[in-house]
């Protein structure tokens, strides 16, 4: 059976650094599973790994989409599977790393995708509602999905409700039939809140510059808001709808809430072996033995 490492965990837990260290050790190549790092130009705000940090290790599924357009999980799945095959053919160890649980489960086959085409009439109707109204509706119809979705992201809320309207529910985990053995490694540092805040302050000047540049290149404030988290609050700040201090406070809270949603998603997968970020030797040993 093919062996694939899968490194998951909340934002700011050190996944990218760990993936590179293991890739250097095991002759691996890395597939990113992050719903916003697929977009070109969204670098500082998403914490995208730099060329220097890659240390010569090939990375896939970064910078493959136009941020002005929506990129679906089904598109991600197709391209990521192509990358997986390429890595295996070249006799390297695939390492999937990311914090977007839906993307991780898409490429590992833990969840299915309904063939639900866009419903323009329904989307137009739902778009008139606020994110709060859409989230309340989703909680009534699918509480489990509501616990893992960004309650402020209208695009994802509308898509979830669109799927429910068509087939009655958002897809659940499926039984994977595969010749692949996935080794799941989870990172969960004890000081996550401190890490999140420290990283936010460190990246803040670069994030502001990046958001200004993206807007000059044609990314609308509306679309920037839709991209969520850092870009949502940067768009409000740059439109003078938030002070800098309010932006930092609200964004810090939003990232911490996002980290909790990530953990809610990952806890459903009992195959994940959890480690602290400092336990590299134990992680390496676990990867070797399994």
Q: Residue ranges for the binding site? A: 9-16
Please name the residue that has the structure tokens 């996944």.
15
Distance CA 288, CA 290 (A): 6
- Asked if 238 and 215 touch (Cβ cutoff 8 Å), the reply is yes
**Continuous H helices in the chain:** 15-26, 51-54, 73-89, 101-108, 120-127, 131-141, 143-146, 154-167, 192-216, 221-226, 229-238, 244-266, 280-289
Q: How many CA atoms lie within 13 A of 69 on its CB side?
A: 7
Phi, psi of 142 (to 5 degrees): -155, 85
Question: Binding site for ATP, residues?
Answer: 9-16
- Reference 81, options 56, 54, 126, 113; nearest CA is 113
Check: CB of residue 99 under 8 Å from CB of residue 34.
yes
Beta bridge partners of 187: 275
Which residue ranges are tagged as binding site for substrate? 11-16
Q: How far is CA 277 from CA 6, 25, 34, in A?
A: 15, 17, 19
């Amino acid at each position: 059976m093919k062996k694939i490492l899968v490194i998951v965990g909340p934002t700011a837990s050190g996944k990218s650094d760990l993936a590179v260290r293991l890739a250097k050790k095991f002759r691996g190549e890395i597939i990113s599973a992050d719903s916003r790092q697929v977009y070109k130009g969204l670098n500082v705000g998403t914490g995208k790994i730099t060329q220097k940090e890659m240390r010569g290790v090939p990375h896939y599924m970064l910078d493959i989409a136009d941020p002005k357009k929506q990129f679906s999980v089904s598109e991600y799945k197709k391209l990521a599977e192509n990358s997986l095959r390429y890595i295996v053919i070249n006799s390297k160890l695939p390492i999937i790393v990311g914090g977007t649980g839906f993307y991780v489960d898409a490429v590992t086959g833990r969840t299915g995708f309904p063939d639900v085409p866009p419903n323009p009439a329904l989307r137009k109707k739902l778009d008139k509602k606020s994110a709060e109204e859409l989230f309340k509706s989703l909680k009534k119809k699918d509480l489990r999905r509501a616990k893992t979705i960004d309650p402020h992201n209208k695009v994802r809320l509308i898509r979830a409700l669109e799927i429910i309207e068509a087939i009655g529910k958002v897809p659940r985990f499926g039984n994977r039939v595969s010749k692949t053995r996935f080794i799941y490694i989870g990172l969960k540092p004890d000081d996550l809140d401190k890490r999140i805040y420290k990283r936010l302050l460190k990246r803040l000047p670069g994030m502001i510059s990046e958001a200004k540049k993206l807007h000059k290149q044609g990314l609308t404030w509306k679309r920037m808001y839709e991209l969520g988290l850092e870009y949502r609050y940067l768009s409000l700040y740059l439109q003078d709808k938030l002070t800098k201090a309010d932006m930092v406070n609200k964004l810090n809270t939003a990232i911490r809430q996002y980290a909790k949603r990530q953990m809610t998603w990952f806890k459903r997968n009992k195959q994940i072996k959890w480690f602290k970020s400092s336990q590299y030797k134990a992680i390496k040993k676990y990867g070797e033995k399994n």
